[in-house]
A and B are shown apart, each in its own frame.
Chain A
Amino acid sequence: MTCLPTGSALRRGLAAAAGLLLASTALMHGASAAEDRAALMAAHRGGTMRLVANAAAGTIDPMVNYTSQFWQLYQSTYDGLLAFKHVNGTDAFTIVPDLAEEVPAPSADGKSYTFKIRKGIKFSNGQDLTVKDVVASFQRIFKVASPTAGTFYNGIVGADACLKTPADCTLKDGVVADEAAGTVTINLVAPDSEFFFKLAVPHASILPADAPAKDVGTAPIPGTGSYMFASYDPNTQLKLVRNPHFKEWNVDAQPEGYVDEVDYDFGLTEEAGITAIQNGQADWLFDPPPADRLPELGSKFQNQVHINNLMAFWYAPLNTNLAPFNDERVRQALNYAVDRDALAGLFGGSVLADPTCQILPPGFPGYKPSCVYTQDPGEAWSAPDMDKAKELVAASGTAGQKVTIITEDTAVSKAIGTYLQSVLNDLGYDTSVKPISANIQFTYIQNTKNNVQISISQWFQDYPAASDFLNILLSCASFTPGSDASINISGYCNKDLDAKMKSALALAVTDQAAANEEWSKIDAAFMEKAPLVPLFNPKRVDFVSGRLGGYTFSSVFQWLFANAWVK
């Protein structure tokens, strides 16, 4: 279990699950992993697994969909040139070769990579995978206006032209195929330490060259993974079956699955989903269990519950351009005043959430535990410091001002908002809470036109790099006044720290460890200015059926269904 991040509460939570996990994970680590896997495969192969969720996650197009719900499925249906290792815990941060034969070394200037494409791989429709498919797939990212086209893949040579006129996208000098050698060379405008990560997320999946150059919606595209989507109806069911043309080439990148078929049913409430699993009618539920069922799950069904750290945090962005939070002291005061233990309680208790007062989540590259905003500042948060908070508010002279908290209309977000309202009222403000539909709130709080002072939000990693939190959430470039797409919700632009982030990104190309060191300093420096209030790091509760074995939780894409069996 060394691969798992430490934490006393987590240890306690995992103790029960460990018995179940140990069997598979320990074996995987052993030298005879392959043999054991073969034995397990012989013993457990086959059957149908039933997954349930409240609702589907929209389009099935792997280049357009940007939800953790479907990214989890893409792991075993599509492949990129590279992949995150399909293993338990933070080891999953490791990049392994997938459709490429190996992880290439950069050219001398660090700006180009040459991938040798594996031979003999077929798409689920029987077509051979060729270098042409690779080139077409990179063009398609821009043609379908993938959400990350302008953020992840804008560093490829020719990407700027593709962003302007997607229809004519060629990436002529950016992605170059050599058919004879079976290689593809990708040229970047500048070295990018995170480029491999960007190649390993589903948006860079390699699809057949003849895939439609628009969002396919509900019509699945053939892939190279161990499973393929057989049918998709967002109202009822998504069905996955074995890809008939699949032969395992790298167990770390695309393992062959145990079950023959996966039925993913939509439209079941969380309550109904939990009941279905208890009755053995379903094997796993996507949505977090409702709060009032948690005690029951934790006691009567503890062997079927798996709790894992998520690379994420819940936070309250403070608008640094609007009163009262344009005053640094007020922002710090709120950070001091918040009882993070109480907030963890709203999320389901100390087992399911760890209080935090920094931006990077535990176990993440660049994470160094530190907490300034607590009674005895040190590595961990202990208790709120109300006296200090009140002093700071008094010094700022802002008490009595009106504050509105914008939350999502989900139970947890609303509860956090209601709690923060109490805290702000105690600090002397005249506070109100405004819940908005979860679907709209995220863009609503980003737009400066809506004059949001404080809101409740969450950020989940895309890939394991400190910049995915710090640079995205707090860089000057992420702040676009008047736009719905302005992910720097705090509107905080600190030129000095911005420069430091740029140099850390550059440093990472040559020295990742030194860069991570820099990132922890940047994390602390931002927290000094307190453009946001970190609340807690949530954990994932997976409640699985009694028959499900081989539970594996990757810190990148969460539960790996292909590694689990039901027989």
Chain B
Amino acid sequence: MITALIRRLAEMVFVMVGISVMVFLIFFATPGSDPAARIAGRNATQEAVAQVRVDFGFDRPLPVQYVLMMKRLFVDRDLKSFVNRGQNVIPQVLEATPITLSLVFGAAVLWVIGGLAVGVIAAATQGSLIDRTLMVLALIGVSMPVFWFGEVMNLLSQARFHDTWLFSWVPALGYKPLSEDPWGWFKTLVIPWFSLAVLYIGIYGRVLRANLVEAYQEDFIRTARAKGLSPARVMLRHALRTSLIPFITMFGLDFGVLVGGSALLTEVVFGLNGIGRLTYIALQNLDLPMILATVIYASFFVVLANAVVDFIYIFVDPRMREA
């Protein structure tokens, strides 16, 4: 167990170093990426540009620059942006985190409940019209690009029907901190939550239904049903329990990826300044320190989620423990 943990940790570190090196190299391979003139300001003299180059260490060999940057990111914790002079990147990432967490948490609650409901109801009414309708809806949910759905939601709630009772409560786009204005926080996030969750409700509902249907063919369920247990009890106590393992795996991975910044399309469409949007803007501006910070942060969550899922597996599934 301990060695597995240590091995896992070593792997995590390896992957994160790999990613940061990759990002670093990609950056320096890009034309126009030399930030010296941008930092120096418009119409700066050649001397000013040269001075910036020396001040920021752009004249040093790449490996040295990489090590220095990592040191400033992790040891000194004062790595500064290339685009917004004097702006520390770590606080930026820390400030964006609660926004992304709020978005992903809320959406996760929605999609777990929704996914469970869709999967269980569809499996219970297998073959009926309800089942078919739910599965078609789930498939439509899976097929909609999230950014487009978000835009349509914006169109409806911010413009077309904003003045009607339906959406008059919807505040302007943007984020309100939970600590300052809990009700405002909730109101601004409801539509983003829903938009982000639709895709996952579809996926989870479909997967859960398939697993439940499969479970019903297993011997232990047949036994349970033969014993005369109520259908609800069979479903909730027996079938659902075994079917939840892949559900948990998927949830862990999806959650990690989203917290790591993959909710960026939702964040861009709804004007939420979360990690995804921060990364996207940093990439567009070729702001290397910010890119490094956000990408390392993102990969950390993805790798962590992978590891957690592995351990949960060992916990939940006794067969894995023995292996």
Contact = CB atoms under 8 A, between A and B. Distances in A.
**Chains A and B share a contact (CB less than 8 Å):** yes
Interface stretch (A22-30, A104-112, A215-223): A215-223
B48 A58 contact: no
Interface string B38-52: 101111111111011
Given A272-B271, A485-B37, A439 B43 contact: no
A439 B83 contact: yes
Contact of B86 (A149, A217, A235): A217
Nearest to A487: B43
B172 A440 contact: no
A150 B45 contact: yes
A217 B284 contact: no
B59 interface: no
B46 A443 contact: no
A446 interface: yes
A443 B47 contact: no
B86 A59 contact: yes
A58 B85 contact: yes
A485 B31 contact: no
Nearest to B162: A275
Contact of A267 (B55, B83, B85, B273): B273
B257 interface: no
Given A58-B86, A145-B52, A439 B31 contact: no
Residue from B44, B88, B158, B286 with most neighbouring chain A CB atoms (10 Å)? B44
A150 B48 contact: yes
Contacts of B48: 145-147, 149-150, 163, 485
Nearest to B272: A267
Contacts, number: 143
A395 B303 CA distance: 63
Contacts of B37: 443, 446, 483-485
Contact of A439 (B96, B174, B285): B285
A56 B95 CA distance: 15
Interface residues of B, number: 41
Nearest to B154: A271
B92 interface: yes
B179 interface: no
Interface residues of A, number: 54
Nearest to B42: A66
A145 B51 contact: yes
The SS class assigned to the A binding surface is: loop
Given A235-B273, A268-B271, A272-B174, A147 B46 contact: no
Contact of B43 (A151, A163, A271, A281): A151
Interface string A137-149: 0000000011111
A56 B87 CA distance: 11
Nearest to B83: A439
B32 A163 contact: no
Interface string A366-399: 0000000000000000000000000000000000
17 contacts: A58-B84, A66-B41, A145-B40, A145-B55, A219-B86, A234-B84, A234-B92, A235-B273, A271-B271, A272-B271, A437-B286, A439-B83, A443-B32, A443-B37, A444-B32, A480-B46, A485-B44
Interface of A: 56-61, 64, 66, 145-151, 154, 163-164, 166, 215-219, 234-236, 267-269, 271-272, 275-276, 279, 281, 409, 436-437, 439-440, 442-444, 446-447, 450, 472, 478, 480, 483-485, 487
Interface of B: 31-34, 36-38, 40-49, 51-52, 55, 80, 83-88, 91-92, 95-96, 158, 172-175, 271, 273, 284-286
